[in-house]
């Protein structure tokens, strides 16, 4: 208050406005709570039945078994999915064993063996269709 009066004495209209605004209290129940919104780290995959999107693949660490596996953001572990390469119409059935991919425009991350089975090793990323199997 002392500082505000000093500025007021100097002729500061800004200080006067601050002092006047500070005097008019706002009831505590009139204040709206601040709601924080969080931006998701990645977008959810599109609808799985007949869903289309981009697939990528990953290399296994040395010494792991060669398997037809994949990573998906939301499908339960153990789910079997038929992945069809839309560029050449080749398909492979994979089992979901991991989470990913964490790049926004990709829907599935295939093991190297699964990617080789549908002929996408050279391209690295390819358009695919996903079909969940019973």
Exposed / middle / buried, residue 113 (Cβ in 10 Å: 0-12, 13-18, 19+): middle
- The SS3 call for residue 84 is strand
Domain positions in the chain are: 1-26, 51-132
Whether the CA torsion 110, 112, 115, 121 is positive or negative: it is positive
Angstrom distance (rounded) from CA 121 to CA 25: 67
Q: In CATH, which of 2.40.40.10, 3.40.1160.10, 2.40.110.10, 3.90.1150.10 is domain 51-132?
A: 2.40.40.10
Q: Could you list the pLDDT tens digit for every one of the 134 residues in the chain?
A: 555 555 555 555 655 555 665 555 555 555 565 555 555 444 444 445 447 899 999 876 654 556 899 999 999 999 999 999 999 999 999 999 999 998 888 999 999 999 999 999 999 999 999 999 98
Task: Assess contact for 109 and 59: CB atoms under 8 A.
Answer: no
Nearest-angstrom CA–CA distance, 62 and 70 = 17
Is there a contact between 126 and 86 (Cβ–Cβ < 8 Å)? yes
């Amino acid at each position: 208050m002392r500082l505000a009066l000093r500025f007021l004495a100097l002729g500061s209209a800004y200080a006067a406005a601050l002092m006047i605004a500070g005097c008019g209290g706002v009831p505590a129940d009139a204040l709206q709570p601040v709601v924080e919104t969080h931006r998701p780290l990645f977008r959810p995959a599109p609808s799985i039945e007949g869903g289309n999107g981009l697939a990528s693949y990953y290399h296994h660490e040395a010494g792991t078994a060669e398997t037809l596996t994949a990573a998906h953001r939301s499908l339960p572990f153990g789910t079997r999915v038929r992945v069809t390469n839309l560029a050449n119409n080749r398909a492979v059935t994979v089992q979901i064993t991991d989470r990913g991919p964490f790049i926004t425009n990709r829907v599935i991350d295939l093991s190297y063996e699964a990617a080789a089975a549908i002929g996408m090793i050279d391209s690295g990323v390819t358009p695919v269709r996903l079909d969940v199997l019973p």
